[in-house]
Structure 1
Amino acid sequence: MQCIGFIVFPGFDVLSCAVMSTFEYANREIGEPVYDVRLLSETGGSVRASIGVSVATEPFDDTNFDTLIIGGSDVIGSLTPGAIKFLQQALGRCRRVAAICTGAFNLAEAGLLDGRRATTHWYHARDLRDRFPKVKVEEDRIFIIDGPVWTSAGATAGIDLALAMIEKDFSADVARAVARKLVVYHRRAGGQSQFSALLELEPKSDRIQSALAYAKRNLDQPLNVRQLAEAAHLSPRQFSRAFCAETGQSPAKAVENLRIEAARLMMEQSRHSIDVIARQTGFADRYRMRRAFLRTFGQPPQVIRRNARAEAAA
């Protein structure tokens, strides 16, 4: 049986605790208690969540946990010396250490993320990068595995991380069955983006939606305002005005975001050369695509491809 310690700090996010249910369902699927999950805090006793409810916890002790997971919290503050010491020792005593959402700040404060790739909720990613410059923050990731240290994006991404753990511990079939019982997608890959360009735009009218759908189908074409306006059955002037009003972006910026999203997926999931990907996604050449990647992700396409392959190998 694998013993999993789930750490909460005052002000923790209840949703991040959904990770524990993932291991519970794995026990049910396998038909025996393969995971023993314990709720921990530094001093034990009652710990209050951000929403006001409290949970009973066990104190930190010398128990050897297979996996130690830190839940996310709305309160991002400094750890006590005792908590830092416990986390620093954990990396040598546990097979893996993980953080959900803003729990990454706790790992970073304890020095466990120094020199490692990590992610957190997109809203807090830049703060994590600014406060802990030794951490290689990748803000647009569902979860990241760097050796024995796992980090995930916002609270629900913790379920994806837990499913990946179950798949690694047992099999893809078990993880898929657990996901099905939880009624969640099996399973978002760690390298999947936290964002969707189309969802972020959220167009309200059918005409603007039709223009975006046309753009996504024809990314290798020039896609000027006239073409998009024709797809929306509007004049170019009417289209530009309506598009900006509904999406908050210019048509050119929206098309670039769609191209970046498509190019990134191809970089991560295909073996096409950078030149081919640039042409197929409408960037014309690799240099324009590189500049777009640096503006958006702070990394060139080659680094994103290398990181995706490293994750797949892990």
Structure 2
Amino acid sequence: MTTVALAVTDGVSHFELAAPCEVFGVDRSDLADPWYELTVCGPAGARVGGRFRLEPDEGLDGLVRAHTVIVPAWADLDEEPPAELVDAVRAAHRAGARIVSLCTGAFVLAAAGLLDGRRATTHWLHAPALAAKYPGVRVDADVLYVDDGSVLTSAGKAAAMDLCLHLVRLDHGSAVANAVARRLVVPPQREGGQAQFVATPAPDPRSHALSGLFTWALRRLDRPLTVEDLARQANMSSRNLARHFNAVTGTTPLRWLRAHRIRRAQELLETTDDSVEAIAEATGMGTAASLRRHFNRTVGVPPDTYRRTFRGRTAGG
């Protein structure tokens, strides 16, 4: 999955265009070789964000030759997406490409019929319009991104970066994706099912105890931490802790802990020869059976299969 094509037309957003360019268009062959080859496809002189003119590498017909096609946010939702863009995205999908939309790029995928019967997301502000215009789409406005195999959609702005890093993780493993995130100074992984924080803003880090709690907990993933342990460390009741956790992370303390335990297990499976039993102990999962159950449920494959797949990719790059 090394060739990535970025579909550009008049009115695409600055941010959703820049995010994939930064992730896939910068040579990072020191992390994985070969790295991605990014091609910008669209009409000559396409206007980006109403301010800049872009000179693409080739026309929209170039999408059909890419392994992955990314459709950034499309600005004018009152108009139908350009027919040539819709046709090119549809043709790329028929050719076997992985199709990705960022923010309101989902409207283009829906117009191409690629979201019919699928679960998909977009920016929460535009989710009602997507659902009304394309009733065959199962719109989920409460998540950061949706991975439906060959078709992936993200919510707005920062969620676009989350989905781009998710693609790197799928292709090259957690260690490489985390290294890219560190270089971009962004969180290495926010779960796709995490809330978009539509109604409740995250509290100022200086006004709550969770920033310190996160660091404390992540250093103790090998221990059998409970909600009561976390609440005691944060000096608040379990109920109050749950309320703060939901406001800051969009999930519960136990789900947050489990996600980070699984993430740590992925890293150990990719970078060490430790047994599944040893990794279960190192990540606080207790037993190998418990790790296998939660890992399979979260990642979709057993730990041994994951190791064979991603150790091979890491060794190749």
TM-score range, shorter chain: 0.5 to 0.7
Partner of 2:7: 7
Confirm or deny: 8 A CA contact 1:101 1:152 kept in the other structure: yes
Partner of 1:23: 24
Deviation at residue 93 of structure 1 after TM alignment:
1.2
Percentage of pairs with the same residue: 32
- Ranges in structure 2 where 5+ consecutive residues have no aligned partner: 209-230, 260-295, 302-317
- Please give the TM-score of this superposition, normalised by the length of structure 1: 0.65
- Please give the TM-score of this superposition, normalised by the length of structure 2: 0.64
Cα root mean square deviation, aligned: 3.7
Confirm or deny: 8 A CA contact 1:26 1:175 kept in the other structure: no
1:134 aligns with 2:140: no
The DSSP-based 3-state class of the residue aligned with 1:122 is coil
What is the CA deviation profile of residues 71-127 of structure 1, one whole-angstrom value per residue up to 9, with x for unaligned ones?
113222312333322222221213310000000011011110001111111111111
Between Structure 1 and Structure 2, how many residues are aligned?
Answer: 238
**Equivalent residues in 2 for 1:98-113 (5 A)?**
98-113=100-115
Instruction: Say which of 224, 228, 237 aligns to 1:218.
Output: 237
**Equivalent residues in 2 for 1:170-181 (5 A)?**
170-181=172-183
1:148 aligns with 2:147: no
Confirm or deny: 8 A CA contact 1:40 1:59 kept in the other structure: yes
**Equivalent residues in 2 for 1:32-111 (5 A)?**
32-41=33-42, 44-57=43-56, 58-61=58-61, 63-76=64-77, 77-111=79-113
Distance 1:100 1:64 in 2: 20
Distance 2:75 2:172 in 1: 33
- Per the alignment, do residues 183 and 29 of structure 1 end up closer, same or farther by CA in structure 2, a change over 3 Å counting? farther
Distance 1:37 1:179 in 2: 18
Confirm or deny: 8 A CA contact 1:167 1:174 kept in the other structure: yes
Deviation at residue 68 of structure 1 after TM alignment:
0.4
Partner of 1:121: 123
**Equivalent residues in 2 for 1:266-281 (5 A)?**
none
**Equivalent residues in 2 for 1:237-252 (5 A)?**
none
**Equivalent residues in 2 for 1:176-255 (5 A)?**
176-195=178-197, 199=201, 217-218=236-237, 220=239
- Per the alignment, do residues 175 and 205 of structure 1 end up closer, same or farther by CA in structure 2, a change over 3 Å counting? closer
Confirm or deny: 8 A CA contact 1:25 1:181 kept in the other structure: no
Distance 1:267 1:131 in 2: 34
The DSSP-based 3-state class of the residue aligned with 1:39 is strand
Deviation at residue 167 of structure 1 after TM alignment:
1.1
Bigger Rg, structure 1 or 2:
1
What is the CA deviation profile of residues 233-268 of structure 1, one whole-angstrom value per residue up to 9, with x for unaligned ones?
xxxxxxxxxxxxxxxxxxxxx99x86x9555x7579
1:313 aligns with 2:269: no
Instruction: Say which of 165, 168, 175 aligns to 2:167.
Output: 165
The DSSP-based 3-state class of the residue aligned with 1:54 is strand
The DSSP-based 3-state class of the residue aligned with 1:199 is coil
Distance 1:176 1:50 in 2: 30
The DSSP-based 3-state class of the residue aligned with 2:20 is helix
My pick for the range that moved more, 24-33 or 64-73, is 24-33
- Per the alignment, do residues 107 and 219 of structure 1 end up closer, same or farther by CA in structure 2, a change over 3 Å counting? same
Amino acid at match of 1:56: E
- Per the alignment, do residues 61 and 203 of structure 1 end up closer, same or farther by CA in structure 2, a change over 3 Å counting? closer
